[in-house]
Structure 1
Amino acid sequence: MANDLVLDTAIRDWVLVPLSLVMVLIGILRHFVSKFLRSTNTPDLKAIKESQLVVRARYLRGAANFIPEKAFKSRRHFYNNEENGLLHVPKSQAQNMQAQMFSDPNMAMDMMKKNLSMIVPQTLTFAWVNFFFSGFVAAKIPFPLTQRFRPMLQNGIDLSSVDVSYVSSRSWYFLNLFGLRGFFSLILGEENATDDTQKMMQMGGQMGGFGVDPSKTLSAEKDGLELVQHSWALPKLEEEAESILRDILST
């Protein structure tokens, strides 16, 4: 019974093609609207300086055993001393840094713009598809599929007798929503504004970074540098090299 279904050509002309064309046009429009709403943030020199400082301190921890002990302790004192150490952050300054971070309106504005450019077009498009095209069997996959694909391909059709390879109009919308990323990458470039997955990751990174106190990062790196126990590694390497050389000469 399911294999005898014949799709009307009018469904192709008035459902499948218009839906795909609208999804492409909306994706292109979202890209240019996102570029228009994107704010040009000037880099924070203080934040860049702090991040580079943390990187330098990590390099010092990693290479501690390859420099003399006196040189390592001198460098550690340069970073960790309580008077003017680069990693030492006074409590008053830490509180000011956290207050400035929470009062920054640019971060909240950027997040709101990204939410608008991602959620509003998707909501309106899904409402349009659900209102005009709900219940249509729009296409058929040219190869057999298992029953696990039924919820993905037949959203909005509650008939278990229909073969899994038939695709509903609502499922075709979701397939276009996530399947056109490669097409948009070809015509708009890799860094296009239509990739919702990338946007969600960026928003998640911003949400994870929102509220993180930079002074805590500096303090954590300071504590890690303080716990390093210096062990001179180069004499051991010289002894191993001499041992290997003696073994080679003896053979």
Structure 2
Amino acid sequence: MGDDLVLDTAIRDWVLIPLSVVMVLIGVLRYFVSKLMRSSQTPDAKIVKEGQIVIRAKNLRAGANLIPAKAFRARKSYYSNEDNGLLHVPKDQAQNAQAQMFSDPNMAMDMMKKNLSMIIPQTLTFAWVNFFFSGFVAAKIPFPLTQRFRSMLQNGIDLSTVDVSYVSSRSWYFLNLFGLRGLFSLILGEENATDDTQRMMQMGGFGFDASKSLGAEKDNLDLVQHDWVMPKFEQRAEAVLRKLVS
């Protein structure tokens, strides 16, 4: 049955194309609404400084083997020393920072605005799709898929005999919801407010957690095993010169 199924061109014209166009327009509208709702806040100098410390520590980890062992140990102690290391955060200070972060009303309000700008439009859009377009087979993937993709691509239709490569209208909505990031980047630029995947992952957070980031980077730096590459490079260079001379 899956091989003999022919999609009506009217479904393409009245379901597939309108649904895709509406998803793009809603994404662009949400970007400008989020921009209007976004409050301008002066960056906290302490948070900026701690973020720069994390970046510098990551750079040290990335280039650890390019400097001598003595220089690496000195820099490592400068960052991860238990007494006055830049990455060391006392437990009481970390708890106070978290409590201050959660008690900041401006930060909580900004997070609520961001979440509402995502939840309300997508809830209304899903209700619109579910009411008008539920039950349609809207498109077909041009390559074969395994049965594991059936629940993802055929949401809303109960036809186990239909080939897995056919996509229901409801599943097409979800594919557009999470798959339009590249298009929005072209239209709105890389720094746009329409990345639903990233936003859903951050819905429970309140931005940069300095104490957690510093502690995690300290643990990563402590695990680095230094192996200076310069002696090995000199040995390889000498071996190459010997071959050239001989």
TM-score normalised per structure 1: 0.65
Give me the identity figure in percent: 78
Aligned position for 1:224: none
- From the superposition, tell whether residues 169 and 64 of structure 1 become closer, same or farther in structure 2 (CA, over 3 Å): same
Aligned position for 1:2: 2
Q: Which amino acid aligns with 1:167?
A: V
Aligned position for 1:143: 143
Alpha-carbon deviations, 1:198-248, whole Å to 9, x = none?
A: 223444553783xx779xx79xx8xxxxxxxxxxxxxxxxxxxxxxxxxxx
For the residues of structure 1 that align with 2:15 and 2:143, how far apart are their CA atoms?
22
For the residues of structure 1 that align with 2:148 and 2:43, how far apart are their CA atoms?
48
Q: Which amino acid aligns with 2:32?
A: F
What secondary structure sits across from 2:36 in the alignment?
Answer: helix
Aligned position for 1:186: 186
Report if aligned partners of 2:101, 2:107 keep a CA contact under 8 Å in 1. Answer: no
Aligned position for 2:44: 44
What secondary structure sits across from 1:159 in the alignment?
Answer: coil
The 5-angstrom pairing of residues 192-211 of structure 1 reads 192-206=192-206, 209=209
What secondary structure sits across from 1:2 in the alignment?
Answer: coil
Shift of 1:49: 5.1
For the residues of structure 2 that align with 1:94 and 1:144, how far apart are their CA atoms?
52
- From the superposition, tell whether residues 46 and 64 of structure 1 become closer, same or farther in structure 2 (CA, over 3 Å): farther
TM-score normalised per structure 2: 0.67
What secondary structure sits across from 1:139 in the alignment?
Answer: strand
- From the superposition, tell whether residues 89 and 133 of structure 1 become closer, same or farther in structure 2 (CA, over 3 Å): closer
For the residues of structure 2 that align with 1:9 and 1:118, how far apart are their CA atoms?
32
- From the superposition, tell whether residues 205 and 6 of structure 1 become closer, same or farther in structure 2 (CA, over 3 Å): same
Query: Could you tell which deviates more after superposition, 165-174 or 145-154?
Result: 145-154
What secondary structure sits across from 1:39 in the alignment?
Answer: coil
Q: Which amino acid aligns with 1:43?
A: P
Report if aligned partners of 2:3, 2:163 keep a CA contact under 8 Å in 1. Answer: yes
What secondary structure sits across from 1:167 in the alignment?
Answer: strand
For the residues of structure 2 that align with 1:170 and 1:49, how far apart are their CA atoms?
46
For the residues of structure 2 that align with 1:90 and 1:140, how far apart are their CA atoms?
57
For the residues of structure 2 that align with 1:146 and 1:92, how far apart are their CA atoms?
52
Report if aligned partners of 2:154, 2:171 keep a CA contact under 8 Å in 1. Answer: yes
- From the superposition, tell whether residues 64 and 201 of structure 1 become closer, same or farther in structure 2 (CA, over 3 Å): farther
Shift of 1:11: 1.1
Q: Which amino acid aligns with 1:19?
A: L
Q: Which amino acid aligns with 2:43?
A: P
Q: Which amino acid aligns with 2:8?
A: D
What secondary structure sits across from 2:167 in the alignment?
Answer: strand
For the residues of structure 2 that align with 1:143 and 1:53, how far apart are their CA atoms?
48
Q: Which amino acid aligns with 1:150?
A: R
- From the superposition, tell whether residues 168 and 49 of structure 1 become closer, same or farther in structure 2 (CA, over 3 Å): closer
Aligned position for 2:117: 117
For the residues of structure 1 that align with 2:94 and 2:4, how far apart are their CA atoms?
72
Aligned position for 1:225: none
Query: Could you tell which deviates more after superposition, 88-97 or 136-145?
Result: 88-97
Shift of 1:12: 1.3
For the residues of structure 1 that align with 2:71 and 2:130, how far apart are their CA atoms?
66
What secondary structure sits across from 1:108 in the alignment?
Answer: helix
For the residues of structure 1 that align with 2:165 and 2:142, how far apart are their CA atoms?
7
TM-align CA RMSD: 4.3
What secondary structure sits across from 2:138 in the alignment?
Answer: strand
For the residues of structure 1 that align with 2:156 and 2:88, how far apart are their CA atoms?
60
Alpha-carbon deviations, 1:85-136, whole Å to 9, x = none?
A: x999999999976664443111101110111111111111111111111101
- From the superposition, tell whether residues 105 and 151 of structure 1 become closer, same or farther in structure 2 (CA, over 3 Å): same
1:161 is the counterpart of 2:180: no
Report if aligned partners of 1:80, 1:87 keep a CA contact under 8 Å in 2. Answer: no
Report if aligned partners of 2:101, 2:206 keep a CA contact under 8 Å in 1. Answer: no
For the residues of structure 1 that align with 2:5 and 2:91, how far apart are their CA atoms?
73
- From the superposition, tell whether residues 80 and 190 of structure 1 become closer, same or farther in structure 2 (CA, over 3 Å): same
Shift of 1:46: 3.9
Q: Which amino acid aligns with 2:38?
A: R
For the residues of structure 2 that align with 1:95 and 1:140, how far apart are their CA atoms?
53
